[in-house]
Amino acid sequence: MVESLGNVGSLVSSPWIYAVVTLSVLLDVFLPMLPSGVLVIAAATAAAAGSGAATGRVPHGLPGILVLVLCATTASVLGDLVAYRLARRGGARLDRALSRSRRLSAAQERLGTALARGGGVLVVLARFAPAGRSVVSFLAGAAHRRAREFLPWSALAGLSWAGYSVTLGYVGGQWLGATWLAAGVSLLALFGAGAGAAFLVRRQPPPAAEAP
C-alpha cells in the first residue's frame, strides 16, 4: 500500500524541510552518503502535490519549488567552496597523498586542464555522479586552481543538479501525487542520471602531453 508523504511525518510539509535540505546538501560534499537527493525530491514531490496547503505552514506549488531550488543551489555552491578552500590550504601533506594515487593524480591533472581551457563541463557532470562533487571540489583546491576558474562551474553544476532533482520531484508529484511511488520513480531517474554522468566522466580523454 502506497502511503502519502504528507502522512509519513510533518517534516516534509513544514518549513524545517528547507533547513534540513540546505544542511544536507551543504555537508554531503564531506559525507557523500547523506541522502540529500532523496530529501530534495521528497520535498519537491510534497510541494508539487500541495501537502502543506491544508495547514498553510509551508509554500506549496511554484513558490515552494523556487525556494527549494534556491536552497539546494546555494548550499551546493557553499559546500563546494568550503571543500575547495580546505584542499587549497592542505599544503604538502595533501599533495603527497594525491601523488601516491595514480588515479587521483590523473584526475587532478585532467580537471586542472579542463578548467584552464574553460571546459568545466566536467565539474557539472561530476555533480551528478556518486561522490563526484567531493572529488572535483577537493581536486580543484589541491591543484591550486583559481577560484574564478572553478566557482562559476560549481554554481552551474549546483543549479543544474538542484533544478533537475526538483523537477523530477515536481513532475512525479503532479502525475502520481505525494506518494512514495512518485518519489521512488523520481529517485530512479536521478540515479540513472548519476550513472550516466559517471560513465561520461570516465570517458573524458586524458590531458595531452605537452611537447618538450
For residue 21, pLDDT over 80 is answered with: yes
Cα torsion 60, 64, 66, 67 to 10°: value is 170
* Secondary structure class of 179 (helix, strand, coil): strand
Whether the CB-CB separation of 171 and 113 falls below 8 Å is answered with no
Under 8 Å CB-to-CB from 35, ≥6 apart: which residues? 24
pLDDT tens across 33-75, in order?
888 888 888 888 877 766 444 444 445 556 678 889 999 999 9
Q: Of residues 42 and 179, which shows the higher confidence score?
A: 42
Q: Percentage of the chain with pLDDT > 90?
A: 18
pTM above 0.85, yes or no: no
**What is the rounded distance in angstroms from the CA atom of residue 121 to the CA atom of residue 124?**
5
Residue written as grid cell 502520481: 176
